[in-house]
Amino acid sequence: MQRRQETTTRRWADRALVALFLLVIYLPSADQALRLDRAQAPQEKRVLAPLPKLASTPIGELPKSWEAYYNDHFGFRNRLVRLYNYAMVLWLHTSPSGKVILGRNGFLFYAGDDAVSYYRGLKPFSPRQLLRLQRTLEERRDWLARQGIHFLVVVAPSKETIYPEYMPRQLNRVSRESRLDQLLRHLAAHSDIEVLDLREPLRKAKAQRQVYYRTDTHWNGYGAFVACQEIMSRVARWHPAAKPLPLSAFRVGEWMDDGGDLATMMGLEGRLREERIELAPVAPAAHTGDPGPLIRLPDGWRPLPVVKERPGDGLPRAVVFRDSFAISLIPLLSEHFSRVSYLWEWRFDVPAIELEQPDVVILEIAERLLMRTDTFPPNGPVVKRDLEEQAGGRGPDR
């Protein structure tokens, strides 16, 4: 009797195992047909392989095209990718993305744009590069000065610059002098270009409260406020009416978010949640203005300009060439100008400046982008021709 029960139990166990095997085998196909997987697709920052078209795909390329399509669309892929990424971070303490560094205390750091080499000091500026940057910035400053416009360069520090204590210990720093240190030292010795170094104010502020997000590349609302205070303190030297507003002029918005851009790069938005902190004016005076002639078709990834106005109060006008660090700055800076246009670019857009007729031009750029050769593109012929006329045809470099 006992042997019969054992046989029956074993038989049912075998059937259950076979059923489970068949379920696992056929579930992906069922998901492809019925869309059973409700997990959010990870944001992979790439275009998934499309379904091959039999009429237009050469026969020899069909197997490869089908394989690429299936690898990107097999059943329950979204859930499996997210579980894999989560297991890599939680159990193996390894980043599933080559663009994200797992730091300590839950801090994530960006590894793109050669940021690791920058942090470690592996690729310093050459003397020739420093001289080229100096001349490019001086050409811009001098051209603007001829129009009666002030020029300010603002460098937004990388998170690892402000929070190096949370970087992995194995990423040792070969040199303590960064490219920004080099540039500031070179300009102090050879030029009088206005470059605003935000590192020390942000380091002081972090002793009171967190100024960068743990799961994002950028500063939070408090960090943006510190940057705004420093920028407007410098602008107020030229235009006293634009003195920086106090923290009490802004309300603090706090809410739980699904995580920042670094969490998204690892496909873990929603898993690595973080408190979002943004500042907005208590009584906003600036409003979205009419971009007017600045509106043009998008050029690649670059967004259209953002224009803010608060007319009638005698404040200066500004043009801000910027990157993503300015997103949190826009609602803060805009309260200090009668009209300010934010353009997501670093080239010297002479037509935009001539159309806007600003009192101040600000160039805001992320620190890590000092690694790129196209960060300060050469000035265009309008600037060079104007400077040559100013120099009596001799040119600025002669």
Quickly list DSSP for 172-189: --S-S--HHHHHHHHHHH
What is the structure's pLDDT at 33? 56
What is the structure's pLDDT at 34? 54
Up-side HSE of residue 76: CA atoms within 13 Å toward CB? Answer: 11
Reported pTM: 0.80
Please choose, from the candidates 99, 205, 200, 192, the residue with its C-alpha nearest in 3D space to the C-alpha of residue 152.
Answer: 192
Domain residue ranges of the chain, discontinuous segments joined by +:
2-95, 109-390
Q: Read off the tokens for 348.
A: 């010297």
What is the structure's pLDDT at 395? 39
**How does pLDDT run across 128-153, given as a tens digit for each residue?**
999 999 999 999 999 999 999 999 99
Mean pLDDT by 10 residues, the chain (398 residues): 68 74 62 58 60 68 66 60 66 81 95 94 95 94 96 97 96 93 96 95 97 97 98 97 96 93 87 92 88 52 79 89 95 96 88 93 96 76 58 40
Distances (CA, A) of 213 to 59, 170, 185, 332, 395: 50, 22, 29, 18, 46
Please choose, from the candidates 216, 223, 252, 243, the residue with its C-alpha nearest in 3D space to the C-alpha of residue 156.
Answer: 223
**How does pLDDT run across 340-349, given as a tens digit for each residue?**
999 998 888 8
Three-state DSSP at 89 gives helix
Distances (CA, A) of 380 to 157, 320, 376: 28, 18, 12
Please choose, from the candidates 270, 156, 132, the residue with its C-alpha nearest in 3D space to the C-alpha of residue 211.
Answer: 156
Q: Round to whole Å and give the CA distance between 272 and 213.
A: 12
**How does pLDDT run across 182-233, given as a tens digit for each residue?**
999 999 999 999 899 999 999 999 999 999 999 999 999 999 999 999 999 9
Please choose, from the candidates 310, 323, 333, the residue with its C-alpha nearest in 3D space to the C-alpha of residue 224.
Answer: 333
